[in-house]
Amino acid sequence: MPLDADIAAAYRQRWRIEISGAVQGVGFRPTVYRHAAKNRVTGWVANTSAGVVIEAEGRAKDLHAFRHAIVTDPPPHAVIHQVTEHAIAPTGDTAFQVRDSQSTTPGDLLILPDLATCNDCLAEVFDPANRRHLYPFTNCTNCGPRYSIIMGLPYDRPATTMAEFEMCPACRAEYANPRDRRFHAQPNACPDCGPQMALSTDDGTVIADREAAVDTAIEQLRAGAILAVKGLGGFHLFVDATNPDAIARLRQRKRRPDKPLALMVPDLAWAKLLTHVDAVAEQSLTSAAAPIVLLPRKPNTDIADNVAPANPELGMMLPYTPLHHILLRGLGRPVIATSGNLSDEPIAIDNQDARARLADIADLFLLHNRPIVRPVEDSVVRILAGRPQILRRGRGYAPFPLPTGTAGQPVLATGPHLKNTTGILRGNQFFMSPHIGDLDTSAAEDLLRRTTNDLSDYTQTEPALVACDPHPDYASTRHAENLGLPTIQVQHHLAHVIACATEHNLNPPYLGIAWDGTGLGTDGTIWGGEFILVDGEVWHRVAHLHPFPLPGGDVAAREPRRAAFGLLYAAFGEAGLNVEALAPVTAFTAAERQTLLRAVEKGINAPLTSSMGRLFDGIAALLDIRQRATFEGQAAMELEWLARSGNAGAPYPFTITDDMIDWRPLLTAVLAAQQDGAAKADIAATFHATLADMMVAVARRTGVPDIILTGGCFQNRLLSELAIARLDDAGFKPHWHQQVPPNDGGIALGQAVWARLQRGKAPCA
């Protein structure tokens, strides 16, 4: 017998296995424990700030099987980036243990985004016999808050906002049991020991608490009240989506007359009742990210018309916390779930702050006492050409990194001014912040500053270089300059192109079609209708729209009639502005026209632009679809909706000479068609088709197969679909955004990648 034991011992090996990736807060260690038991492996597993480390002892055959099982059968939300192992001396362990976290070597740890409630937890919440029946903070290692509650690393309860809640014996037992779904679920809680709800007025008077708070909130919603609801990454404003009067009140109080509002529906069946949900859309809707998905709406539903006026799509999301499930199931109908903020400010996350800022909007406040560390807004996704495309990257996706190909020095990118996101490029991963939004308010600027510090902390990275936009008036540019680090400015449209190329891991040369509202060009004019060829480490603006003046500059973004004014002036001179038959002309008084004319002639506050976004605005104004917009992109959206119902005729003419695309023949043709009484919808459809022709024409002249579609204009579904189809037909390979938005929300990625490439070329710094 002793001899046998000696032989057995001689065949034993011990491996130290290190795993990096998204391996904490996902039930990784219990899974390792399970695989160890199955494969007769002893030793231990622990979290480190670099990921997970295992010491495993057993026969070589079993160790191989154990390692294989971990890699091929990890827990649902884990993402393994790297596994390394080496042999060490056996110690003769007789059991397998799950150890507490080991601190702290800077490393490769990834923080998970917040995850929607899993089906196991959902079943418990609606099981009257379960101790968590109707408990709004139920979660487990497969679901619940992560990024929004993390204060530091490693990811352990004391480093989250759950630190202040001491677990009861029942919760503690789950937390300590490696075989339990809640083993080391850091936000683990129950009605006895965890956070609680309260319903309050704006002055802080509590009307009801715990379950009664939620019941009363449901009654109030049913009666048409506007509720501020504290959720996962911040506050929402909730209102009954079938009550047009209540919605009108919300729109008026939020000063948001037309912009589409998103819906939260009780369940998937409701989503299918209201919209067309295909398999890809269903996958996005029901994913752990649970984003808002833009879906084609069905006619004749109970949804009030003023939810998304005239919009052929509805933004739809499923409940993603137990609280949302309980509220929506109780109400039994969809609600508007819009960001809890004043027009352009970041969303509120703090109870007191929300009561102060939203006092004039919300009738009541449904609050809880689990603090939110940082705002994380709902993500927005749509399905384009059969694939999900992220239009706003927030909850469920951020701060999960995007792969960027090659490694290099760490770079911070401060992003654009509108729809800001920021991010850190570390190694070959870009850690993009959640959507921060427009930087027009000091609150938003503050959030940008806090977010860059935050990213630097949790990636344990000191950036050596800062990338930003060249526009001197962008708050993000100012922030970059104030950091006191070497800074590289990356042209706005180039950043758009590089962001998309990085997503698709493209090698130059490629042609980027960057069409958007505005971005500062290298010649001091405002660009936005750009064709950019990236060739090796240099880029060329190979084609662009013929420039036209934009009287009023930034004001023109909200007044399509000004874009039309500039187009008419560029095409016909002063004569074009005296045609009283044209809607945008008569949208100004004679005196206003004189003032604008002088501004344009003298070039005072009338910058030249090659913006495609403004060309869209101008055409929308000429067709009298809209002269003034209440939100960015409204006129172009309405032009697209109209075009979808029209029939495209023969394309309108345009010419390309050298790098200049002359749209003036197109404008003349649009005006002629209008005069001939052509239907607006048909003109709009022909305009879209003509632009697809324009892309193909420039692609042919350039002769590069890979074509990138980027910029805010490609939020236009019709334009994107036409571009993809026409480029494909013509033998090109079109590429479009999926992981980061085509709008300015994606450009931080391009800034960081390009800046690092440029810096690499410099001899020293």
Interface residue list for Fe ion (CB under 5 A): 516, 519, 744
For residues 649 and 634, give the distance between their C-alpha atoms in angstroms, rounded to a whole number. 25
Nearer to Zn ion, 193 or 268 (CB): 193
366 burial type by CB count under 10 A (0-12 exposed, 13-18 middle, 19+ buried): buried
**Among residues 46, 53, 159, 193, which is the contact residue for Zn ion, using CB under 5 A?**
193
Helix (H, G, I), strand (E, B) or coil at 102: coil
For residues 659 and 646, give the distance between their C-alpha atoms in angstroms, rounded to a whole number. 31
Q: Which one of Zn ion, Fe ion, none interacts with residue 516, CB within 5 to 8 A by kind?
A: Fe ion
Residues in the chain: 765
For residues 196 and 327, give the distance between their C-alpha atoms in angstroms, rounded to a whole number. 15
Nearer to Zn ion, 138 or 243 (CB): 138
Q: Which one of Fe ion, Zn ion, none interacts with residue 53, CB within 5 to 8 A by kind?
A: none
Region near Zn ion per CB under 5 A, out of 1-9, 95-103, 184-192, 445-453: 184-192
Q: Taking Cα atoms as reference points, which of 624, 659, 653 lies closest to residue 639?
A: 624
For residues 432 and 717, give the distance between their C-alpha atoms in angstroms, rounded to a whole number. 25
Shortest separation between residue 137's beta carbon and Zn ion, angstroms: 10
Q: Which residue(s) pair with 543 in the sheet?
A: 531
Shortest separation between residue 367's beta carbon and Zn ion, angstroms: 20
Nearer to Fe ion, 121 or 713 (CB): 713
**Among residues 78, 111, 118, 564, which is the contact residue for Zn ion, using CB under 5 A?**
118
Q: Which one of Zn ion, Fe ion, none interacts with residue 744, CB within 5 to 8 A by kind?
A: Fe ion
- Amino acid 383 reads I
Nearer to Fe ion, 363 or 744 (CB): 744
Nearer to Fe ion, 284 or 710 (CB): 710
Phi and psi angles of residue 560, each rounded to the nearest 5 degrees, phi first: -55, -30
Please, which residues have CB within 8 angstroms of residue 481's CB and are 6 or more apart in sequence? 468, 487
Distances (CA, A) of 525 to 321, 494, 572: 47, 15, 21
Nearer to Fe ion, 251 or 614 (CB): 614
Helix (H, G, I), strand (E, B) or coil at 346: coil
336, 330 in Cβ contact below 8 A? no
Shortest separation between residue 414's beta carbon and Fe ion, angstroms: 15
Shortest separation between residue 693's beta carbon and Fe ion, angstroms: 23
Shortest separation between residue 117's beta carbon and Zn ion, angstroms: 6
Region near Zn ion per CB under 5 A, out of 30-38, 162-170, 629-637, 754-762: 162-170
For residues 222 and 439, give the distance between their C-alpha atoms in angstroms, rounded to a whole number. 36
Q: Is 508 left (phi over 0), alpha (psi -120 to 50) or beta?
A: beta
**Among residues 23, 56, 143, 221, which is the contact residue for Zn ion, using CB under 5 A?**
143
Helix (H, G, I), strand (E, B) or coil at 454: helix
Distance from chain centroid for Cα 641: 23
Query: Could you tell me the sign of the dihedral formed by the alpha carbons of 90, 92, 94, 95, in that order?
Result: negative
Shortest separation between residue 113's beta carbon and Zn ion, angstroms: 15
Angle at 724 between CA 718 and CA 725, to 5 degrees: 90
226, 237 in Cβ contact below 8 A? yes
Shortest separation between residue 372's beta carbon and Fe ion, angstroms: 30
Q: Is 190 among the residues that bind Zn ion (CB under 5 A)?
A: yes
Nearer to Fe ion, 31 or 433 (CB): 433
Q: Which one of Fe ion, Zn ion, none interacts with residue 568, CB within 5 to 8 A by kind?
A: none
Nearer to Fe ion, 401 or 711 (CB): 711
Shortest separation between residue 492's beta carbon and Fe ion, angstroms: 6
Shortest separation between residue 744's beta carbon and Fe ion, angstroms: 4
228, 201 in Cβ contact below 8 A? no
**Among residues 168, 464, 583, 757, which is the contact residue for Zn ion, using CB under 5 A?**
168
Q: At 399, list the tokens.
A: 């701060």
610, 530 in Cβ contact below 8 A? yes
Q: Which one of Zn ion, Fe ion, none interacts with residue 142, CB within 5 to 8 A by kind?
A: Zn ion
User: Taking every pair of C-alpha atoms in the chain, what is the biggest distance, in angstroms?
Assistant: 108
Shortest separation between residue 712's beta carbon and Fe ion, angstroms: 5
Nearer to Zn ion, 116 or 596 (CB): 116
Q: Which one of Zn ion, Fe ion, none interacts with residue 143, CB within 5 to 8 A by kind?
A: Zn ion
Within 546-615, strands assigned E span 548-549, 608-609
Q: Which one of Zn ion, Fe ion, none interacts with residue 185, CB within 5 to 8 A by kind?
A: none
Nearer to Fe ion, 43 or 712 (CB): 712
Nearer to Fe ion, 378 or 516 (CB): 516
By beta carbon distance, the residue nearest Fe ion is: 516
For residues 592 and 573, give the distance between their C-alpha atoms in angstroms, rounded to a whole number. 16
Nearer to Fe ion, 345 or 744 (CB): 744
Shortest separation between residue 550's beta carbon and Zn ion, angstroms: 52
Task: Annotate 449-483 with b (16+ C-beta within 10 A) or e (fewer).
Answer: bebbebbbebbbbebebbbbbbbeebbbbbbbeee
Shortest separation between residue 711's beta carbon and Fe ion, angstroms: 5
Region near Zn ion per CB under 5 A, out of 118-126, 486-494, 551-559, 715-723: 118-126
Phi and psi angles of residue 658, each rounded to the nearest 5 degrees, phi first: 50, -120
For residues 23 and 31, give the distance between their C-alpha atoms in angstroms, rounded to a whole number. 11
Q: Taking Cα atoms as reference points, which of 457, 412, 455, 462 lies closest to residue 433?
A: 455
Neighbours of 759 (CB within 10 A): 17
Q: Which one of Fe ion, Zn ion, none interacts with residue 140, CB within 5 to 8 A by kind?
A: Zn ion
Q: Is 121 among the residues that bind Zn ion (CB under 5 A)?
A: yes
Q: Which one of Zn ion, Fe ion, none interacts with residue 753, CB within 5 to 8 A by kind?
A: none
648, 685 in Cβ contact below 8 A? yes
Q: Which one of Zn ion, Fe ion, none interacts with residue 190, CB within 5 to 8 A by kind?
A: Zn ion
Nearer to Zn ion, 171 or 520 (CB): 171
- Amino acid 414 reads T
639, 623 in Cβ contact below 8 A? yes
Shortest separation between residue 765's beta carbon and Zn ion, angstroms: 48
**Among residues 192, 457, 592, 601, which is the contact residue for Zn ion, using CB under 5 A?**
192
Shortest separation between residue 527's beta carbon and Fe ion, angstroms: 9
Q: Which one of Fe ion, Zn ion, none interacts with residue 385, CB within 5 to 8 A by kind?
A: none
Shortest separation between residue 491's beta carbon and Fe ion, angstroms: 11
Query: Could you tell me the sign of the dihedral formed by the alpha carbons of 602, 606, 610, 613, in that order?
Result: negative
Q: Which one of Fe ion, Zn ion, none interacts with residue 192, CB within 5 to 8 A by kind?
A: Zn ion
Distance separating the N- and C-terminal Cα atoms of the chain: 70
Q: Which residue(s) pair with 531 in the sheet?
A: 513, 543
Nearer to Fe ion, 474 or 569 (CB): 474
Q: Is 171 among the residues that bind Zn ion (CB under 5 A)?
A: yes
Q: Which one of Zn ion, Fe ion, none interacts with residue 121, CB within 5 to 8 A by kind?
A: Zn ion
Q: At 325, list the tokens.
A: 């499930």
Q: Is 142 among the residues that bind Zn ion (CB under 5 A)?
A: yes
Shortest separation between residue 526's beta carbon and Fe ion, angstroms: 11
Nearer to Zn ion, 131 or 759 (CB): 131
Q: At 369, list the tokens.
A: 């006492």
Q: Is 661 among the residues that bind Zn ion (CB under 5 A)?
A: no
Number of residues near Zn ion (by CB under 5 A): 10
Nearer to Fe ion, 503 or 516 (CB): 516
Residues that bind Zn ion (CB under 5 A): 118, 121, 140, 142-143, 168, 171, 190, 192-193
